[in-house]
């Protein structure tokens, strides 16, 4: 199941690649059942919508909707099904093709089950993952697995193809390194944004420098997605930073 030359070129050009039906329904359902049970039991550690401070989020954990969970953190430690997915050999081999070297799973970033709830699951503006990661090279890959259907209605991902190759100027970003929606220089970039629709088992690989966003969940059921981040072995985290704080798993290829 190695990536084809066409797939590799798509990733390099667009900054993301969709792998349809990559994970079997039974495997998705096993991860989904685990995630639902741990969400119901409020199994720590958790991140709440109130913690991130995005527009529309509850102002505190005590406010209405303040106990809405945004992420089940430390997914790698949450069960065998998630660990098997994070280290799946054919996935690792595909990542090694892109990196051109052995693969390392970073546990400091992503490493979570994203839970986007109706009503209090906030939208996320255009941003790049590398904005809060500390590595010598902006060349990590986030791997997103849809455990159920993801559509515009329930807050699916959007990408700006090729934006990982853009050189932006400081005035285009706000204090949190999100694209400023009111900045005229950003309009041509935002106009290129593409909505992604995913079926259960679909996987998206996307570059750490790619601008992506997601809307609110306007549906009536919670959306679950698994997200892990990987680097090439020659791109270790900067010592003393958050990126170096949680350990890593060397996977080879």
Is this structure's pTM higher than 0.75?
Answer: yes
Residue 64 located in a structural domain: no
The per-residue pLDDT for range 162-171, each reduced to its tens digit, is 999 999 999 9
Over residues 242-253, mean pLDDT: 94
Supply the pLDDT for residue 47: 95
Residue 191 belongs to what H/E stretch? helix 187-191
Q: What is the pLDDT of residue 56?
A: 73
Range of the domain at 99: 5-58+70-252
Let me know if residue 24 belongs to a domain.
yes
CA distance 91 to 114: 20
pLDDT tens, 76-109? Answer: 999 999 999 999 999 999 999 999 999 999 999 9
194 has a pLDDT exceeding 80: yes
In a domain, 168, yes or no: yes
Residue 101 belongs to domain with CATH number: 2.60.120.620
In the chain, how many domains are there? 1
Any domain includes 23: yes
pLDDT in tens, 47-63: 998 888 777 777 888 88
Task: Convert the pLDDT of each residue in 206-234 to its tens digit.
Answer: 999 999 999 999 999 999 999 999 999 99
CB 23 within 8 A of CB 82: no
CB atoms within 10 A of CB 216: 18
Task: Decide if 241 is inside a domain.
Answer: yes
Distance in angstroms (rounded) separating the CA atoms of residues 248 and 253: 15
pLDDT band at 18 (very low <50, low <70, confident <90, very high): very high
Q: By percentage, how much of the chain surpasses pLDDT 90?
A: 88
For residue 148 the two structure tokens come to 């159920």
Q: Which neighbouring-strand residues pair with 198? A: 150
Residue 42: which pLDDT band, with cuts at 50, 70 and 90? very high
The overall average pLDDT reported for the chain is 95
Confidence (pLDDT) at 53: 75
């Amino acid at each position: 199941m190695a990536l084809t030359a066409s797939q590799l070129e798509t990733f390099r050009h667009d900054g993301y690649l969709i792998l349809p039906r990559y994970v079997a329904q039974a495997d998705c359902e096993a991860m989904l059942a685990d995630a639902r049970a741990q969400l119901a039991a409020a199994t720590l550690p958790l991140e709440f919508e109130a913690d991130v401070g995005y527009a529309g989020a509850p102002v505190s954990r005590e406010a209405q909707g303040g106990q809405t969970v945004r992420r089940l953190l430390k997914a790698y430690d949450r069960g065998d099904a998630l660990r098997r997915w994070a280290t799946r050999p054919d996935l690792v081999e595909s990542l090694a093709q892109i990196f051109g070297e052995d693969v390392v799973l970073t546990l400091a970033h992503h490493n979570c089950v994203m839970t986007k709830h109706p009503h209090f699951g906030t939208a996320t503006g255009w941003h790049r993952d590398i904005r809060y990661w500390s590595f010598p090279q902006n060349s990590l890959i986030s791997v997103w697995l849809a455990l159920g259907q993801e559509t515009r209605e329930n807050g699916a991902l959007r990408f700006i193809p090729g934006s990982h190759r853009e050189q932006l100027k400081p005035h285009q970003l706000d204090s949190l390194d999100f694209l400023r929606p009111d900045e005229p220089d950003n309009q041509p970039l935002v106009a290129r944004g593409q909505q992604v629709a995913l079926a259960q088992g679909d996987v998206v690989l996307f570059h750490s420098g790619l601008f992506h966003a997601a809307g609110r969940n306007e549906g009536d059921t919670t959306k679950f997605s698994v997200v892990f981040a990987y680097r090439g072995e020659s791109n270790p985290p900067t010592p003393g930073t958050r990126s170096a704080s949680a350990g890593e798993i060397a996977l080879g290829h």
